[in-house]
Amino acid sequence: MKTLLLLTTLAIFISACNTSPKSEETSSEKHELVLKWETDSLLKVPESVLFDKDNKVLYVSNIDGADPWAADGKGSIGKVGLDGKIIATDWVPGLNAPKGLGMYNGKLYAADLTNLVIIDIASGKIDTTALIAGAVGLNDITIDSKGIVYISDSPGKKVFRFENGKAELLLD
């Protein structure tokens, strides 16, 4: 039943988004990429990047391992300047295989296999490591305007909701 409801909702959404008339014109405008900067190759299997406009840095989740789903303690969060210079390769070390990142109210959230890791941005220290019961491989994060964290679990085919220190299964 959930699958039917999800498919119906998806079909309505897609049809609602496709309301613009078709145009036979195509743009002949050419776009060219211009290299602005590049980093040293010190990042260790970078997976996700998040821009922090207040601190003017990029946070990069580093898996650092041959198996992107291994709980090996090699993962980290790195910090890169907007000029491409690496500030810290292992700003927050000791993670497993961090992937998606999100930010809210001075905290950086990282999806790390079966844990949601909450990092205090000012200190770079881990505040909380919350085990997400039933998770197999947390992948991406988004956070709404109220600070509710939504986390996808790609191999587990689930979505979790994390609010007020508690996780619950949202979609299965």
CATH assignment of the domain containing 87: 2.120.10.30
Give a yes or no: residue 60 inside a domain: yes
What does residue 50 show for φ and ψ, rounded to 5 degrees? -135, 130
What CA–CA distance (Å, rounded) separates 101 from 99?
Answer: 7
For 118, 121, 139, the CA distances from 59, given in Å and listed in that order, are: 13, 10, 16
Strands 107-112 and 86-95: unpaired
In a domain, 135, yes or no: yes
Per-residue pLDDT of the chain (172 residues; tens, 9 = 90+): 555 444 445 455 555 555 555 555 566 788 898 887 777 778 889 999 999 999 999 999 999 988 999 999 999 999 999 999 999 999 999 999 999 999 999 999 999 999 999 999 999 999 999 999 999 999 999 999 999 999 999 999 999 999 999 999 999 9
Number of domains into which the chain is organized: 1
Output the pTM of the full model. 0.79
Give the pLDDT of residue 39.
Answer: 74
Q: Is residue 15 part of a domain?
A: no
**Residue 28 in domain:** no
Do 131 and 114 meet the contact criterion of CB atoms below 8 Å apart? yes
What tokens appear for 95 in the block? 């993670």
Q: Is residue 23 part of a domain?
A: no
Is 158 domain-assigned? yes
3-state helix, strand, coil in the chain (%, to 5): 10, 45, 45
Residue 7, in any domain of the structure: no
The parent domain of residue 159 ranges over 39-171
| 71 lies in some domain | yes
The three state secondary structure string of 91-107 is EEEEECCEEEEEEECCE
